[in-house]
Amino acid sequence: MKPMGYVGALITAALVASGGAQKVETPVKIGVAVAQTSNTALLGQEQVIGARFAEKYLNARGGINGTPFKLVFQDAAGDENSAINAFQNLINKERVVGIVGPTLSQQAFAADPIAERAKVPVLGPSNTAKGIPQIGDFIARVSAPVAVVAPNAVRQALKLDPKIKKAAVLYAQNDAFSVSETGTFQETAKAQGLTLATVQKFQTTDTDFTTQVTAVLNADVDLVIISGLAADGGNLVKQLRQLGYKGLIIGGNGLNTSNMFPVCQRLCDGVIIAQAYSPAQPSAANQVFVKDYRAQYKKDPPQFAAQAYAGVQVMVEALKVIDRKKKLSTWDLDDLRVALNKQILVGKYNTPLGPISFDKEGELNQREFYVAQIRMKDAKTGSFVYLK
């Protein structure tokens, strides 16, 4: 027979491994699983910056009622397996209380069910495809659904040029968000009385779009609508202009980053993109964020940074409410994760996005949306000019 001390050690190890009776660590760990590598890193880099801004700002103001928190980053890259591995590491190895991530909706459909089974709350910072909150009870998002945001870009294009009659739609068929977004774009275009003259598919890994651009030019359209990511979308914009397309271009949410500017350079000019964030949003939380961001980066913060900031802020503010009722250090980790999820859903938050809250499924309630147009100053620098 093995000595009781050995058996006790085994039981303790098993409890820790399964999450049983493990107390919450200090500083409190919040996971961030976004794309730091792959072509999706053009978006993920902005999310890392936004999350780190929130960590620095909120900890400087007392953290969680005097208890500091720490962001634990895992590279979720741009594919499903990387997101799954990032989530598993954060949940089982790092023992975080909750996760902000991943970058892509395609990844969320693969990785979120792991957090759901482990009862770990997730806030999607940029997962806007249809069906994300419905993945499970522990899944919410601070990114407004594409069905709410995308139609604004089409309506704005028609304001800029009321003579538009025919549109071409192009989308990344290997990306769940782009497939969801193009559905919304196509429905909106038809509802506005436009003819869809051609619908073209591509891959997010493509670099040569000659076939798609040729189809667009042959269709003689007045408007092009692109749903993809920053690298492929930027190259598609560039090749459309290089081969002679002169009309308006709408870019989807995946193109909503200044990291696209070095890809299409001067040819990015004029692209219209609907926005869930504006640096001009007047809330105190946003104006502090904008001031600090401009001081460090000499430009306005982008949407992906603001949404990641908001995701961290929501988790921290929910933890503060819980801590006021019962100190976090006295909680078992599994119980705190469940309590955090419940508190996230019932809270109201003043974020850089403006006032936000969630419905019972974890869907975002957000009031204010915008449309911007890219204006390039030179080959590499430009800005998003917000349209009335």
Q: Do 152 and 138 reside in the same domain of the chain? A: no
Asked if residue 377 belongs to a domain, the reply is no
Q: Which residues of 330-341 are buried (b: 16+ CB within 10 A; e: fewer)?
A: ebebbebbbbbb
Last residue of a domain, one of 227, 251, 275: 275
**Distance of alpha carbon 269 from alpha carbon 374, whole angstroms:** 5
Closest CA to 186 of 154, 159, 218: 154
Q: What is the pLDDT of residue 329?
A: 95
Q: Do 69 and 166 reside in the same domain of the chain? A: no
Q: Do 139 and 152 reside in the same domain of the chain? A: no
Q: Do 167 and 123 reside in the same domain of the chain? A: no
Q: Do 12 and 126 reside in the same domain of the chain? A: yes
Q: What is the pLDDT of residue 21?
A: 60
Rounded to whole angstroms, what are the CA distances from 42 to 149, 171, 212, 337, 379?
21, 18, 23, 31, 18
Token pair, residue 259, equals 């990291």
Q: Do 117 and 41 reside in the same domain of the chain? A: yes
Last residue of a domain, one of 275, 296, 321: 275
pLDDT tens digits, 122-170: 999 999 999 999 999 999 999 999 999 999 999 999 999 999 999 999 9
H-assigned helices in the chain: 4-18, 41-60, 80-88, 105-118, 146-149, 151-160, 176-191, 210-219, 230-242, 261-264, 284-297, 303-325, 333-346
Q: What is the pLDDT of residue 293?
A: 95
Q: Do 325 and 240 reside in the same domain of the chain? A: no
Q: Do 10 and 112 reside in the same domain of the chain? A: yes
Token pair, residue 379, equals 């080959």
Q: Are 143 and 276 in contact (CB under 8 A)?
A: yes
Q: What is the pLDDT of residue 226?
A: 98
Asked if residue 18 belongs to a domain, the reply is yes
Asked if residue 376 belongs to a domain, the reply is no
Which CATH number do you get for residue 197? 3.40.50.2300
Structural domains of the chain, count: 2
Rounded to whole angstroms, what are the CA distances from 307 to 26, 100, 268?
25, 10, 23
Q: Are 63 and 132 in contact (CB under 8 A)?
A: no
For the chain, which ranges sit under pLDDT 70? Answer: 1-21
pLDDT tens digits, 347-357: 999 999 999 99
Strand segments, DSSP code E, in 342-381 are 348-351, 354-358, 364-366, 370-376
Helix (H) or strand (E) holding 273: strand 272-275
Q: Do 180 and 101 reside in the same domain of the chain? A: no
Q: Do 54 and 133 reside in the same domain of the chain? A: yes
Q: Do 154 and 111 reside in the same domain of the chain? A: no
Q: What is the pLDDT of residue 3?
A: 40
**Distance of alpha carbon 99 from alpha carbon 312, whole angstroms:** 9
What domain range is 247 assigned to? 148-275
Q: Are 98 and 328 in contact (CB under 8 A)?
A: no
Q: Are strands 272-275 and 248-251 parallel, antiparallel or unpaired?
A: parallel
Q: Do 226 and 317 reside in the same domain of the chain? A: no
Q: What is the pLDDT of residue 156?
A: 97
